[in-house]
Structure 1
Amino acid sequence: MSNRTVLVIGAHPDDEVLGAGGTMAKHAAAGDEVHALIVTEGTTQQYDDDSIIEQKRDEARACADTLGIEAVHFGDLPDMRLDDVPHVDVNAVIESVVTDLEPDIVYTHSPHEVNLDHKAVYDSTLVATRPATGVSRVLAYETPSSTGWTGGTTSQFGADVYVDISGFVETKVDAFAAYQSETRVFPHPRSRESLSARATTRGSEAGFAAAEAFSLVYERVGQL
């Protein structure tokens, strides 16, 4: 059994499971203490009904229960507006949770995104996981319907770490289903079929039946 603390950071409710749901479930099954941080309330710029904020929180908790993780933390910053929020304020939300949990491993958004909230969370994660925090490993995940939609001369998400989630694909897909407001019909990237297909494709790249792909941001190794 492992005893690491893992933090998965997402800008919006559902980012955490889309990017790292299978890996979260695998960490939890191994005995790691796994937490999710949702930085924004995920609602104000997409819906007119503020009551959906609480619905999204309930969905996030249901998703976490299916994945078997410890807790979900909420930052409550404005949805789709992080480019207007001072950088230090986004930093503070992530720094607070990092200080409380002292995670060993952090998963966060990739900077190679079309979503500006995702980019802001990546930038602030780098600040919040400076060497003095004790975080030993930071990885960036891909977000279906966001990382895949960059184009032209924009830098693309590049995978160099693959986590075998062969036994956890259904857990990830079932957990994502808790986000009823975010589920789409195939062939949209946020559909059950597409999520399963992505896991198979990423797995075949690394010799696994199924995988999630990450980009290593940095790793601090004290002893070899």
Structure 2
Amino acid sequence: MERKTLLVGLAHPDDEVGAAGTILAQKARGDRVVVVWLTRGEMTEAFGPIPSDQVAARREEQGRRAGEILGVETRFMDFGDCRLEANADSAWRVAKLLAEIKPDGLITWGESWGRGMRHPDHQASGKIFRDAITLARIAKVVAPGQPHRAVVPVFTFRGAHSVIPPVAVDVEPYVDTIHELARFYRENIGFGDRAWLEQRLRLTGEQYGLRFAEVFDAWETRPGIVPHLLPAEPDFLSEHIHPDRAQ
């Protein structure tokens, strides 16, 4: 079985709670998962009136611990919390990281108008990561690293008004660990209410005949119910780029 790499590209530590079951499902297959946060979430007021650099240090430690709970690799970049901009410079920086990690698939934020999901950093981080997939293919962008020209299918958190075909992941085997991660954040920053999370997983599951599920927009791959996102079956109606072409 060929080992895959799933990249989870997010804005803030704790964003990964919404994909925790999917992350665990991919790990259970024996694959590599790398969670990258573009900011350190230093604008939170969860720790009271302390300097932002101290908040950032605490959030980095939380990210490290979250990675241990999920059993995944974690990386932080140093973009400013609540100041993310989806521009060429940010996409170039992230493209270099993608060329290093060489993912086979990406989970990130999409374009949503749901409260919470429409945080400007969420919107910006999703575009940054999606743009970086293309830029990581270009040798002059990622030099002195090597370009990553494999097809990287995109999966984004699904908003209520999305018209993109959905892919649902059965996360029932991982519910206990999902709640462990949420409890960790709840105890440290007050986010991750158990009743809210339980209801979210159940209601999503009911839509697909499952007890518990997480759902994503499948931008380039077949929709449906899956045990894990990768390997993904291409949607041949979408316009995939040939792996050997630079752009």
- Name the TM tier (shorter chain): 0.7 to 0.9
Q: Distance in 2 between matches of 1:195 and 1:12?
A: 18
- CA-atom RMSD in angstroms: 2.5
Q: Distance in 1 between matches of 2:3 and 2:207?
A: 29
TM-superposition CA deviations, 1:64-97 (whole Å, max 9, x none): 111111x111011000111xx4612321342122
Q: Distance in 2 between matches of 1:176 and 1:2?
A: 31
Alignment correspondent of 1:206: 208
Higher strand share: 1
Q: Does 1:183 align with 2:190?
A: yes
Alignment correspondent of 1:99: 99
TM-superposition CA deviations, 1:95-116 (whole Å, max 9, x none): 1221111100100002114211
Q: Which consecutive aligned stretches of 4+ in structure 1 deviate over 6 angstroms post-superposition?
A: none
Q: Distance in 1 between matches of 2:215 and 2:91?
A: 25
The percentage of aligned residue pairs carrying the same residue is 26
1:157/1:60 CA distance change after superposition, 3 Å: farther
Q: TM-score, normalised by structure 2?
A: 0.74
Alignment correspondent of 1:55: 58
Q: Distance in 1 between matches of 2:30 and 2:129?
A: 24
Structure 1: which 5+ runs fail to align?
149-154, 185-189
Alignment correspondent of 2:11: 11
Q: Distance in 1 between matches of 2:184 and 2:78?
A: 20
Q: Distance in 2 between matches of 1:178 and 1:215?
A: 27
Structure-to-structure mapping, 1:61-72, within 5 angstroms: 61-69=64-72, 71-72=73-74
In the alignment of these two chains, the number of paired residues is 204
Q: Does 1:124 align with 2:128?
A: yes
TM-superposition CA deviations, 1:15-54 (whole Å, max 9, x none): 02x2211100111111010000000121146564221211
Q: TM-score, normalised by structure 1?
A: 0.81
Larger Rg: 2
Deviation of 1:205 after TM superposition, in Å, equals 0.7
Q: Does 1:26 align with 2:43?
A: no
